[in-house]
Amino acid sequence: MVLRDLSSEILNSDMGSLAFEMQPSVTEIYLALGLNESRKRVIVIPRVLSLLSSFLERSVQKNEKLLESMNHKDMVTVFHGLRAPTLSIRQYIDRIFKYSNCSPSCFVVACIYMDRFLQNGDLLLTSLNVHRILITSVMVAAKFIDDAFFNNAYYAKVGGVSTAEINRLEMKFLFSLDFRLQVTIGTFERYCVQLDKEATGRYHIERPIQFCGLKENRQIIEESKGAATV
């Protein structure tokens, strides 16, 4: 279900520690996914973003075909919109990366949170809920692993929702996770390996979780006219 193709292998992981010695193969996978740079030094779009968006898009397509074949309507939650946003998942992820100043690793942690959320709520990822779940998971990930982060009003503008709505989404998300935000190195590694398999089918990524950083000249989004809404 939903992100289960990743979690089926991940749930059997051993508990790791932040002092865990990285194995060469995992180091290569980190490099391949573009997780070796801090956010302020990132120039090109990290490969992990395209892999994550591709995986989410295929999950959405699969789930919606399943719902259609079963002639069954998905359960409506606070994360559901009335219609699918005009921005594709890839465009939305690129937008979040551009303005949130998160490191690429934030998106791996967000993927882990999304998986936990969907499993705990027994939900299917669809075109009506994926954008809100995505911006919420990235915001929560940034707050948890960053030394510095933006306020909810800023993330709301990045995500194209109101501040009141992002507050509601965050609370629902956190309670659904039972506030379990800790991610072990073992779990992080396994999600990275599975994301790498998503594209290449072979093990090919630097250091453990890289903390996100904010640029010194914080860019406040002033594009209300062109801002996407979800």
Q: Where are the domains of the chain?
A: 44-200
**Among 164, 99, 96, which residue's Cα sits nearest to residue 111?**
96
Residue 143: both structure tokens together: 């707050």
Segment (H or E) for 23: none
Question: Is there a contact between 22 and 16 (Cβ–Cβ < 8 Å)?
Answer: no
Q: Residues with Cβ < 8 Å from 201, sequence gap 6 or more?
A: none
Residue type for position 50: S
Q: What is the pLDDT of residues 147-205, one digit of tens each?
A: 778 999 999 999 999 999 999 999 999 999 999 999 999 999 899 888 888 765 443 33
pTM: 0.74
Question: Is there a contact between 208 and 22 (Cβ–Cβ < 8 Å)?
Answer: yes
Q: Write the CATH number of the domain with boundaries 44-200.
A: 1.10.472.10
